[in-house]
Amino acid sequence: MDHSFDTTRETALRLDQQDSMAGYKQEFYFPQHNGTDTIYFCGNSLGLQSKGVQEAVQQELNDWKDHAIAGFSKAKYPWLQYQEPYKPVLAKLMGCLETEVTIMNGLTVNLHLLMNTFYKPANGRFKVMMEAGAFPSDQYAVETQVKQYGYDPADAIIEIKPRDGEKTLHTEDIIAAINLAGNELAMVLFGGINYYSGQLFDLKAITAAAHETGAIAGFDLAHAAGNVSLKLHDWQVDFAVWCTYKYLNGGPGAVGGAYVHERFAADPQTPRLAGWWGNDEESRFRMEKGFIAKPNASGWNVSTAQVMNMAALRASLVLFEQVGFEQLVQKSKQLTAYLEYLLKQLKNLDFEIITPGDPEARGAQLSLYFKARGKEIHTKMLDNGIVVDYREPGVIRVAPAPMYCSFEDVYKFYQILQSMN
């Protein structure tokens, strides 16, 4: 990987010329600014539309038009097993078995469904540990889950905060807190990557520590899926959920993903809230009482597959399969390292990169904390056709997704920051 960076435009052009993935930028549509493509660094919020989406959705419209109810068996991608073809590529992205992964619902719905399975407070073990400042939807989900069992969230939820004067967490502090909670801890539920700071947590170490004390380990991988290398099966993670509209480019409100380790997924007796789409297919249409779970993660499917909602994701996953995920991750690390290098050359702005400097402790996102002028700088970016987002207090999140961002894109961003006094 070439890390011989400098502050010339020629270096950006050279890196783009060396990039075997550069052509994939042409596979996406970009919002326009003054008649030209924007530079889009907001894939951590909503990925771009791939050019195969219209055909993918049109295929389902055609099959609905041509086959109506028969589309469940006669559509090009039969609706009766619509989630199944997604599993091979998702298993590669999530580092798990095909039987451990499924797509369904939305992220927070899936979080509730899997907490219903795995959060079973008993015998004084009732606490849930999460990072302070987790994404609000996760906080709401955990708050209402513990309330259903009669617990006060102030007692039942342990929030781990950074050390004084710091903005990210130390793995050893997380593990120490897990050990301290001991027999009171029922579940550890972290975001894989914190949405605000961009910190990638050590999922392997957190999982091992949770299991050592007898707790369940689950993760919200919204900002990790399609972004960083994961090995959920090998790390023995119990469950995980994610959305597909960020780095996976599934479209606004796209279907969510769920992972359940095979030791639970393969056991039809693992408790869950059930619906007919999770029922064994051989007995599904008998219309009888008695839920018989599929012996895999799809046993948590509840309702009929959301065909129109899922179609756009298929078009994006085709590109992930073509590129190869390890190649994509390698480009991401180089692209983010280049962004970090250029930002560190700026002397005219008072800001701090709060995302960890260790490439193994972050993904494509760098969070820039401005002590002042954050909103002004964000507006300047938008006025110059660079799409980044702003999070209070004072953070601009910059996420050069490697599938459709270039080194020259990063250089132009640097130039605009450099021009500000």
pLDDT in tens, 204-227: 999 999 999 999 999 999 999 999
Residue count (the chain) = 421
pLDDT-derived band at 373 (thresholds 50, 70, 90) equals confident
pLDDT band, very low/low/confident/very high, at 1 (cuts 50, 70, 90)? low
Alpha-helical segments (H) within 157-265 = 171-181, 203-212, 262-265
Q: What pLDDT score was predicted for residue 331?
A: 97
Residues 131 and 252 in one domain: yes
Residue 4 lies in a domain: no
Average pLDDT over residues 183-194: 98
| Same domain as 172, residue 110 | yes
* CATH number, residue 364: 3.90.1150.10
The number of domains in the chain is 2
Q: Which domain holds residue 331?
A: 9-50+324-418
Tell me how crowded residue 98 is: count the other CB atoms within 10 A of its CB.
16
Look at residue 4 in the predicted model and tell me its pLDDT.
Answer: 82
Mean pLDDT on 306-323: 96
Average pLDDT over residues 256-284: 94
Confidence of residue 420 (pLDDT cuts 50, 70, 90): confident
For residue 197, which amino acid is it? S
Q: Do 343 and 286 share a domain, yes or no?
A: no
Amino acid sitting at position 4:
S
pLDDT of amino acid 297: 98
Q: Return the SS3 of 375.
A: helix
pLDDT value, residue 8: 96
In a domain, 58, yes or no: no
**264: phi then psi, degrees, rounded to nearest 5:** -105, -40
91 shares a domain with 188? yes
- Render pLDDT for 141-181 as a digit per residue (tens, 0 to 9): 999 999 999 999 999 999 999 999 999 999 999 999 999 99
3-state secondary structure at position 16: helix
pLDDT(403) > 80: yes
The confidence score (pLDDT) of residue 421 equals 61
Say yes or no: 331 and 293 in one domain.
no
Asked, for residue 66, whether it belongs to a domain, the answer is: no
One domain, residues 30 and 108: no
Our separate counts of H helices and E strands in the chain read 15, 17
pLDDT above 70 (res 104): yes
Identify whether 316 is part of a domain.
Answer: no
- 292 with 413, same domain: the answer is no
- Among 251, 272, 304, the domain-final residue is 304
Whether the per-residue pLDDT at 349 is higher than 90: the answer is: no
Could you tell me if 298 and 374 lie in one domain? no
Where are any strands of DSSP class E within 93-237?
101-104, 127-131, 157-160, 185-191, 216-220
Same domain flag for 290 and 358: no
The pLDDT of 325-333, averaged and rounded, is: 97
pLDDT value for 35? 96
With both helix axes pointing from N to C terminus, report the angle between 307-323 and 325-344 in degrees, rounded to the nearest 10: 80
Question: What b-and-e string marks burial along 267-276, b requiring 16 or more CB atoms within 10 Å of the CB?
Answer: eeebebebee
Contact of 103 with 161, CB cutoff 8 Å: no
Q: Same structural domain for residues 328 and 365?
A: yes
- What is the secondary structure of 401-412 as a DSSP string? -TTT--HHHHHH
Does the pLDDT of residue 2 top 80, yes or no?
no
pTM: 0.96
- Among 242, 271, 304, which residue terminates a domain? 304
CATH number of the domain enclosing 132 = 3.40.640.10
Tell me the mean pLDDT in the region 174-193. 98
Q: What is the pLDDT of residue 359?
A: 96
Report how far residue 127's alpha carbon sits from residue 386's, in angstroms, rounded to the nearest whole number: 43
Residues above pLDDT 90, as percent of the chain: 93
388 in a structural domain: yes
User: 169 with 203, same domain?
Assistant: yes
The span from the CA of 202 to the CA of 219, in Å, is 11
Q: What is the mean pLDDT of residues 181-204?
A: 97
Same domain? For 166 and 229 the reply is yes
Mean pLDDT of the chain: 96
